[in-house]
Amino acid sequence: RDETMIGGLLLISLGFTSPPSLLHGVSRTSSGRALSSVRMEDVGPLDTVKKGWGRFQESRSQGYGVKQAIADAIAGDYDVTAVQEEVQEEAKSSPLVLFTWEASPSCKKALELLEIAGADPKVIRLDQPWSEGNKKRAALGRLTGKSSVPSVWIGGKYVGGCDDGPSDSAPGLVKLAFMGKLKDLLEDAGALKARPALPQTEAVTSQQ
pLDDT of residue 12: 53
pLDDT of residue 14: 56
Q: Are residues 41 and 98 in the same domain?
A: no
Q: Are residues 58 and 128 in the same domain?
A: no
pLDDT of residue 40: 40
Starting at the edge strand that comes first in sequence, how are the strands of the sheet with 122-125 ordered? 122-125, 96-100, 151-154, 157-160
Q: Are residues 63 and 87 in the same domain?
A: no
pLDDT of residue 205: 56
Q: Are residues 70 and 127 in the same domain?
A: no
pLDDT of residue 117: 96
Q: What is the distance in angstroms between the CA of the first residue and the CA of the last residue of the chain?
A: 74
Number of neighbours of residue 45 by Cβ within 10 angstroms: 13
Q: Are residues 94 and 153 in the same domain?
A: yes
Mean pLDDT of each 10-residue bin along the chain, 208 residues long = 55 45 36 41 65 92 95 94 98 98 97 96 96 97 96 98 96 97 97 77 54
Instruction: Specify the 3-state DSSP secondary structure of 154.
Output: strand
CATH of the domain at 148: 3.40.30.10
Last residue of a domain, one of 11, 42, 75: 75
> What's the whole-model pTM score?
0.77
Cis peptide bond upstream of 150, omega within 30: yes
Angle at 58 between CA 55 and CA 64, to 5 degrees: 105
What is the total count of domains within the chain? 2
Residue 176's contacts (CB-CB under 8 Å, 6 or more residues apart) are: 159, 160, 182, 185
**How far is residue 50's CA from residue 83's CA, in Å, rounded to a whole number?**
23
H-only helix segments in 18-148 = 19-29, 40-43, 46-61, 66-75, 80-91, 105-117, 130-144
The parent domain of residue 132 ranges over: 80-189
Q: Are residues 29 and 45 in the same domain?
A: yes
